[in-house]
Chains A and B, each alone.
Chain A
Amino acid sequence: MVHIGVRAVPMVSLTAFSIGVTLAMQAAHELQTLGASAWVPDLVAVSLLRELGPILIAVIVIGRSGSAVTAELGTMKVSEEIEALNVMAINPIRFLVVPRVIAMMIMLPCLTIFGNYVGIFGGWVICHFALNMSTAGYILRAVNSSHPWDLYSGIIKSFVFAWLIITIACDTGMKVEGGAEGVGEATTNSVVYSLLSMLIANATLTAVFFFA
């Protein structure tokens, strides 16, 4: 939906851009001592596509949307709205959860792809203005160094993250008991569990994709 996806774009852009810029700066500094500053674009592109892009965007979405979904569903639970849906013979899972799951499964991978581009653009800013690299050279190196698999693996990760985030958010939201306090507690739990499971899943997937 609009809320999970479109409204997260400014935040995602800002984060991805700053990460691209800082990555390039750090890499430039370190690689210069080895006389290998030409490798900066490779490093930025690969680390963004494989790891940082999916993780950072997922962190933002957990904070923005996962928590919001839990709080919203939790509030509906404590104010009898979910029970009212049940009594009206409207399945709350179909009515409330399914649209949110679909929105998350579509929007998180989209945001990740978008964030990757913005991050690589951030890298270009440093390479172009500080390292005097030509635009074409930067793009060529970035594209050459990264395989399609780098991009795909990142997208697969973001699908997995989306699934984890939204199922945890909805589940904790639907199980809220006990008023405003319960909603607050559930929202905290939702964010904490999403982050933990996301990081564990990321380590596992990296191991499977690139190590095994």
Chain B
Amino acid sequence: MSDPVPIIEVTDLVRKFGSRTVLRGLSFKVFKGDTMIIMGGSGCGKSTLLRHINGAMKPTSGSIKIFGEEITTMNERQLAHIRRRYGMLFQSGALLQSMTVGENVALPVTEHGKLDSDIVELMVKMKLEMVGLTGFENLKPAEISGGMKKRVGLARALALDPELLFSDEPTSGLDPIMTAVVDKLTQELTRQLGMTAVVVTHDMTSAFRIGTKMIMLGAGPKQGTIIASGTPDEIRNSPDPEVQQFIRGEADGPVPLKLSKDDYINRLLGNQERIGKGKH
């Protein structure tokens, strides 16, 4: 059913920051039309992974192919060529504060093509309509709420009708209705227009609603590795207790909430000594 050439192919991706290894040998593939969900606790390397796939960071070792082309060895100019084919929604929206909402959405269009200003205006209106923000074109990003910024960010990511969409927590900070709107939009674009999506999220409802493939990154000693991957059903029925803890949202489990009593006392007193030393 899938295209034989994967849209994204990550092989043995390793990234170290100094002595800290954040990603340890990740491998996965994303095929056309899929919605790949990347899950995992805060600080497990999800955003770092996304920044490698979009070329903002270079890996320590390993390979990343997008549309069948190796991007880890590309320079900015070659990368720019690939980047025109995908859109990215940032966690904070990352709108240019000095421009209005409309100008932000129009930016990729005006920068990459010479279209009539009337057509650009029409395109902007269409994209804003898609995310439920008609009539906000002339406001500055500082004048709208965080959730609205995120939706403007999505409209901008979709401005060039990309083949591939990266979303970094697209639904955090949105109300349940808007979450459903954004989810439905992603679904329509992927199922009807064959767009491929890679979504980083904590929101389990949304993840199981839109995902067709999922990977989960581990925490603690398993940090930076894939602990589970598969279809939503496979993940839901995964025997791994860590996966189950994550999707059910339980405070305690394989990822411990609290340290043992002795560990706790040790750390607490250890810290106190250090604080005491620091003061003298």
* A interface list, Cβ under 8 A from B: 72, 75-76, 79-81, 83-91, 95
Contacts and interface: CB of A to CB of B under 8 A. Distances in A.
Q: Majority SS of interface residues in chain A?
A: helix
B92 A87 contact: no
Contacts of B91: 80
Given A89-B112, A91-B76, A83 B84 contact: no
Interface stretch (B94-102, B121-129, B238-246): B94-102
A81 B81 contact: no
A81 to B, nearest CB: 5
B107 A83 contact: no
A80 B92 contact: yes
A11 to B, nearest CB: 22
A79 B97 contact: yes
Q: For B94, B95, B112, which residue has the most chain A Cβ atoms within 10 angstroms?
A: B94
Contact of A89 (B56, B84, B94, B98): B84
A88 B97 CA distance: 16
Interface residues of B, number: 24
A87 B112 contact: no
B193 interface: no
Given A88-B108, A89-B112, A90-B111, A83 B80 contact: no
Interface of B: 51, 54-56, 76, 79-81, 83-84, 88, 90-92, 94-98, 107-108, 111-112, 156
19 contacts: A79-B94, A79-B97, A80-B94, A81-B95, A83-B51, A86-B56, A86-B76, A86-B83, A87-B54, A87-B55, A87-B88, A88-B111, A89-B81, A89-B83, A89-B84, A89-B111, A90-B108, A90-B111, A95-B111
Given A87-B88, A88-B111, 12 more contacts: A72-B98, A75-B97, A79-B97, A80-B92, A81-B95, A88-B83, A89-B81, A89-B108, A89-B111, A89-B112, A91-B80, A95-B111
A90 B94 CA distance: 14
A87 B94 CA distance: 11
Nearest to A84: B94
A79 B92 contact: yes
Contact of A83 (B76, B94, B98, B112): B94
Nearest to B110: A90
Contacts of B84: 89
Contacts of A90: 107-108, 111
B107 A88 contact: yes
B184 to A, nearest CB: 24
Contacts of B95: 81, 84
Contacts of B76: 86, 91
A83 B97 contact: no
